[in-house]
Amino acid sequence: MSLTTYWLEHAWLGTRPQLPPGGTPVEPGVALEVDAEGRIAALRTGVDTPPPGAEPLRGLTVPGLANAHSHAFHRALRGTVQIGSGTFWTWRELMYEVAQNLTPDSYFTLARAVYAEMALAGITNVGEFHYVHHARGGTPYADPNAMGEALIEAAAAAGIRITLLDTAYLSSGFGEAPNVHQQRFSDGTADAWAERVSALKPRGHALIGAAVHSVRAVPADQLATVAGWAEERRAPLHVHLSEQTAENDACQAAHGRTPSQLLADHGVLGPRTTGVHNTHLTDADIALLGGTGTGTCMCPTTERDLADGIGPATRLQRAGSPLSLGSDSHAVIDLLEEARAMELNERLRSRTRGHWTANALLTAATGDGHAALGLPDAGRLEAGALADFTTVALDTVRTAGPLPRLGAETAVFAATSADIRHTVVGGRHVVRDGHHTLVEDVPSALSEAIAALRA
């Protein structure tokens, strides 16, 4: 059997249950062997120097980061939506303008560059919350899944994994037809959505999941169709949940229920479901989400950019809701910043420190994020797991100084995506020494793709 060996100068092994009480999860000198199937075949600690033929990864190696919530085309909004003031709803109008200009070809080009940026940031798997399905006016393409296929191929071209969360988006609001911008998003009915998405097939780097855009975008009597499709396939199911108080108020007016209660009534909640944002929740909502094992994906950099508010992440986790992280609108693409922001947001709200350890925050950014995307065999450095990992430099102006055994704290509370040195997916080097091996010039690729959309 062909094996590739990597030597990790320091490795974060925080998910290993065999750590002694008080033991550090950062281990110096780890030899990691990758088999021909792209999985970790063996892990040996106490290896002081690189074995013959091993590829050294200097810095702190952690499991690949999982970006559990992405809208790839929102990357074109970076900078342009920072002019003036407004609300989530005024921001949304600018987002619609970008969505109108997408084609399968231009979406592939943009998404390839965006996913390459993610690889440079240490992300090995993205959950793409995909709802731009059709041509302008809602006319299906010759291949009804042309846009989704473009995203799947873009991830392959950028060297990362993708869980395509194909999204049902059927209405503009409670009882309202899609507006002119949203016609591209709608399949008309949940049954038509299910028929279309059933033609999408998973492949080596790609899983197919489902999403309910929100309770305002999928009529209550059609929620069960989407949930049933995911349940039948044991697929991940995601949903934007209580991001805005206006959505909560409208749901109460239409159904006399909170969005969380409405989703529970129609079988949407459960251990394979992830609520994205979960910002404005009642005590009963928190108990409901935790009690059903429904996950929570926090997107702090987007939530603060859009002035959404700070979600009750600590209370949700204590209630039983696993936490994951996403970069959502890509105001920045930096999962270390998302992890840091979740803790720092909570400090600002509570005026106390230390709600999560660095190990807990890295777990949200790795293992729990991959599980939310249907990959429970990723996000760990141990035999049998997918050989997806990334290395954070410990010798930059941001990370130099702390002892290596504090590498987890250094990564979460000091490092940024600029400190990612290597990214390996399925045992293959996608980022080496800070350079993408498949996309030669990622900044130029981003600039050209975004300029083409504006034109």
User: CA–CA separation, 286 vs 454, rounded Å?
Assistant: 41
Q: Which amino acid is at 243?
A: E
Instruction: Confirm if 147 and 153 have CB atoms less than 8 A apart.
Output: no
Q: DSSP letter at 394?
A: S
- CA geometry: angle 386, 120, 356, nearest 5 deg: 70
Strands (E), 35-71: 40-44, 55-63, 65-70
Active site members: 277, 328
Q: How many CB atoms lie within 10 A of CB 380?
A: 23
Q: What is the pTM of this model?
A: 0.96
**Locus of tokens 């005026």:** 351
Q: Which amino acid is at 64?
A: G
- Res 17 pLDDT > 60: no
Instruction: Confirm if 123 and 66 have CB atoms less than 8 A apart.
Output: yes
For 105-121, what is each residue's pLDDT tens digit?
Answer: 999 999 999 999 999 99
Band (pLDDT 50/70/90 cuts) for residue 80 is confident
User: CA–CA separation, 43 vs 30, rounded Å?
Assistant: 7
Structure tokens at 411: 């990564």
Strand 435-436 relative to strand 161-168, pairing: unpaired
The three-state secondary structure class of 18 is coil
Look at residue 87 in the predicted model and tell me its pLDDT.
67
For 260-299, what is each residue's pLDDT tens digit?
Answer: 999 999 999 999 999 999 999 999 999 999 999 999 999 9
Look at residue 86 in the predicted model and tell me its pLDDT.
65
How far is CA 23 from each of CA 14, 260, 383, rounded to the nearest angstrom?
A: 10, 39, 21
